Structure formats: structure tokens, C-alpha cells
Amino acid sequence: MEEEGLYFEHCLTYQTRSKLDDWHFPLEDLEEIVIKNNINQTGPVFFFIKKPFKKKTYYEFKYYLPTNQKVELNNDLFGYESIEVADALKTRDTNNVDLKYMRKRMKHYARERKWKIKVDELYGVILNNSDEVIFDFYIPLMKTINQRKKF
């Protein structure tokens, strides 16, 4: 694990609620929009998950597709924004993605170092390398770099 930020400009966004295990289904919708509208994708697709309040089973998801410029679509389902997470705890995974496990692992790592994190938030960046898919996960940190020990 390491400390790193996350920043993308000009992102097409899609927001939905679903069960945690169904996180990958909206990716097909984004791919279809890119093809149908001839959109130039300039970075990896990534998503944001917000944990549900109390014991609800549906999580809030927002998917981001970086583009080279602002894209206007005649569709209310898609938005547009830039994203910046200045300080975050980052880890990489190349195996099957278990979002609950990933969150617990990162939470444990931060707790051991007495770092405060936004435990209800998680970003996942999907990197396609040839035959392998790599996932980078980020949880925003609540303290500045100067308040933490370097590791």
C-alpha cells in the first residue's frame, strides 16, 4: 500500500445504486455510450462507491470515463465532472475483486498507522494491460501528509 492522489479532468459520469457484487454491470453501458457517440476516452474507467446508511443493501456508485473534452449527450442519465482526491491510501489488486475484503484490508492498514480515512468511500480504477486487468483502489485520507509518518 502507498499514499497517492487521484485526479482526472473531463469525466463523463453515470450514477446508480446497486448491490456491491453487481458493481461491474454499468461498465457495459459506458462502453456502449463511448462507441455510439464516438467519444475519445483518455484514461481508465473508474468508479466511486459510497457505503449505504445503516444496514441498507444498496450502495451508491458513480462511474467515471475520462475524455479529452467536455462531452454533451442528449441523455439525463449521464453527467460530467472532474475529480480530485489529493491524499488517499492506495493499493493494487490483480486477482478477483472482492470490494468488501479490499475495504477491510485498507481500513486495517490505516488503523495500524493511526491514520483517519473516509471509511465509507472507495475509488476503484480499472487498468487494462494486455491480457490482465489491474485494479487500483483508493480510500481518501482525512489528515494532511505532514500529520502522518512516512512509511
**51-60, 86-95, 142-151: range with highest mean pLDDT:** 86-95
**pTM of the shown model:** 0.83
* Helix intervals (H) in 65-151: 99-112
Task: Please give the grid coordinates belonging to residue 116.
Answer: 483517519
Residue 25: pLDDT band with limits 50, 70, 90: confident
Angle at 95 between CA 12 and CA 102, to 5 degrees: 70
Classified by CATH at the fold level, domain 2-147 comes out as: Multidrug-efflux Transporter 1 Regulator Bmrr; Chain A (3.20.80)
* Backbone torsion region of residue 111, taken as left when φ is above 0, otherwise alpha when ψ lies between -120 and 50, otherwise beta: alpha
Could you read off the pLDDT of 27-48 as tens digits, one per residue?
888 888 888 888 888 999 999 9
